[in-house]
């Protein structure tokens, strides 16, 4: 699981970071319909976000750079026992009051 502090993730989630779990595409079964939105990230990469057409929540997304995996926002699982993040990205944009586990992998 990862935590992203990029500006686009902050705007998309309405939070100071986005937390997502990534799974191999073949390990995920998608049922129902969704509304898709393609967004260009801070560094030019494209991601396809699929939203619930009823409530607007992000159900999952796929990035151009990693088409073989699906990212699912951790909040979609509604499980308080969901594992803690293992790495963090875009920390140069992290709010100064956010603290993260010391044992996680930290990427710029």
Domain boundaries along the sequence of the chain: 2-106
CA–CA dist 46, 76 (Å, integer): 22
d(CA 35, CA 54): 9
* Burial class (CB within 10 angstroms; exposed 0-12, middle 13-18, buried 19+) of 39: middle
Spatial contact of 39 and 49, defined as CB atoms under 8 Å apart: yes
Q: What's this model's pTM, rounded to 2 decimal places?
A: 0.77
Q: What is the mean pLDDT of residues 40-66?
A: 87
pLDDT tens track for 63-82 = 888 889 999 888 888 888 88
Mean pLDDT of 26-39: 91
CATH of domain 2-106: 3.90.1590.10
CA distance 27 to 8: 27
pLDDT, position 108: 60
With CA atoms as reference, report the closest residue to 76 among 53, 40, 100, 51.
Answer: 51
């Amino acid at each position: 699981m990862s935590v992203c502090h990029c500006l686009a993730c902050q705007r998309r989630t309405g939070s100071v970071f986005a937390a997502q779990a990534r799974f191999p595409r073949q390990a995920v079964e998608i049922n129902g319909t969704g509304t898709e939105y393609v967004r260009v990230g801070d560094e030019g990469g494209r991601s396809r976000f699929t939203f619930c057409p009823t409530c607007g929540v992000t159900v999952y997304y796929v990035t151009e750079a990693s088409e073989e995996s699906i990212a699912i926002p951790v909040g979609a699982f509604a499980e308080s026992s969901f594992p803690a993040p293992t790495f963090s990205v875009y920390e140069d944009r992290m709010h100064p009051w956010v603290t993260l586990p010391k044992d996680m992998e930290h990427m710029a």
